[in-house]
């Protein structure tokens, strides 16, 4: 099989698309963890909830562009509510308390989603959002590589959002404030930075990431509550790249995405089916044992 460069190229392309979407999911986790030190277990269901909201509004007759704006507004209301009702009341609590709060938030959003939208699978409104369909064929050296247009769009949009957020954090006043809060909460307070405002902005940014992820994944495989399982694939990405690193999320996502596809195709027959399901977690376990801070994460030393 190694004599089939076109087949390998097909595998690498599919792995790249999966990897950039894994990186996008992981970015939502990184944003919140950097600003508040909270591992947001609810990021996965936020992906599902945003996608369901968009599709549900359009099903009620709302034009796609207005449904998109209303979904963004919904994610802002969600971010504001989380800050008001959860973060503000749990500030300075142990990390495990905050983590458990996000688990509770996950179950609340699952219940709300099933109550409002039902539990059945929904079809993403790709045509109404002007997302491309169909495919293109490339024939390198007589071989055959198929590029799905939605995959190309997903990769471009995800990459653009990642670059845009990176520029936002590095070039804008709000972005620098977010980085300051990530480095030292107390020092940020002393220079007049509002933690509450920063947390709302951060959760809203994570909500935007969740919405884009929901649209892209939904366009590839429909919108259902099983998408939150896919979102858990971000955990190995975070372990690999580092919980506080945006470049780490990108590199980790690409390594996991490409690695699992290549491993499934070329070594899957040796290890049995389902390799793609556990490959990422094996890589994460190795990193936890030998480099727990990840490739780009910071090694934290605590005084005992």
The string of pLDDT tens digits covering residues 124-180 is 998 899 998 888 888 776 667 888 999 999 989 988 998 888 888 778 887 788 777
Contact residues for 215 (Cβ-Cβ < 8 A; gap 6+): 51, 54, 124, 129, 131
Three-state secondary-structure class, residue 291: coil
For the segment 82-115, what is each residue's pLDDT rounded down to a tens digit?
A: 888 887 788 778 888 888 999 999 999 999 999 9
Please give the full DSSP string across 24-88, using - where no structure is assigned.
HHHHHHHHHHHHH----TTHHHHHHHHHHHHHHHHHTT--HHHHHHHHHHHHHHHHHHHIIIIIH
Q: How many Cβ atoms sit within 10 Å of the Cβ of residue 42?
A: 28
For the segment 38-92, what is each residue's pLDDT rounded down to a tens digit?
A: 888 888 899 999 999 999 999 999 999 999 999 999 999 998 898 888 877 887 7
pLDDT at 256 over 50: yes
Question: What is the H or E stretch that residue 138 is in?
Answer: strand 135-138
Three-state secondary-structure class, residue 223: strand
- What pTM did the predictor assign? 0.88
Q: Enumerate the domain spans of the chain.
A: 5-232
């Amino acid at each position: 099989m190694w004599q089939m460069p076109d087949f390998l190229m097909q595998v690498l392309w599919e792995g790249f698309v999966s990897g950039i979407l894994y990186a996008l999911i992981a970015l939502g986790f990184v944003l919140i963890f950097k600003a508040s030190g909270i591992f947001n277990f609810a990021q996965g269901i936020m992906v599902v909830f945003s996608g369901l909201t968009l599709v549900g509004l359009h099903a009620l007759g709302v034009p796609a562009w207005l449904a998109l704006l209303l979904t963004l507004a919904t994610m802002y209301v969600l971010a504001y509510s989380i800050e008001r009702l959860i973060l503000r009341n749990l500030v300075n609590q142990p990390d495990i308390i905050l983590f458990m709060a996000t688990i509770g938030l996950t179950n609340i959003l699952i219940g709300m989603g099933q109550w409002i939208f039902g539990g059945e699978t929904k079809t993403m409104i790709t045509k109404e959002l002007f997302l491309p369909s169909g495919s293109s064929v490339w024939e390198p050296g007589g071989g055959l590589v198929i590029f799905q247009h939605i995959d190309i769009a997903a990769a471009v949009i995800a990459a653009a959002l990642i670059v845009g957020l990176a520029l936002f954090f590095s070039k804008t006043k709000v972005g620098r404030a977010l980085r300051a809060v990530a480095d030292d909460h107390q020092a940020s307070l002393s220079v007049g930075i509002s933690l509450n405002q920063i947390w709302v902005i951060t959760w809203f940014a994570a909500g935007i990431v969740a919405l884009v992820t929901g649209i892209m994944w939904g366009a590839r495989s429909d919108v259902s509550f099983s998408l939150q399982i896919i979102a858990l694939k971000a955990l190995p990405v975070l372990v690999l790249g580092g919980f506080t690193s945006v470049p780490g999320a990108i590199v980790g996502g690409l390594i996991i995405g490409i690695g699992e596809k290549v491993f499934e195709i070329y070594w899957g027959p040796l290890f049995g089916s389902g390799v793609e399901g556990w490959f990422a977690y094996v890589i994460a376990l190795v990193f936890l044992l030998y480099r727990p801070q990840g490739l780009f994460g910071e090694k934290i030393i605590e005084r005992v």
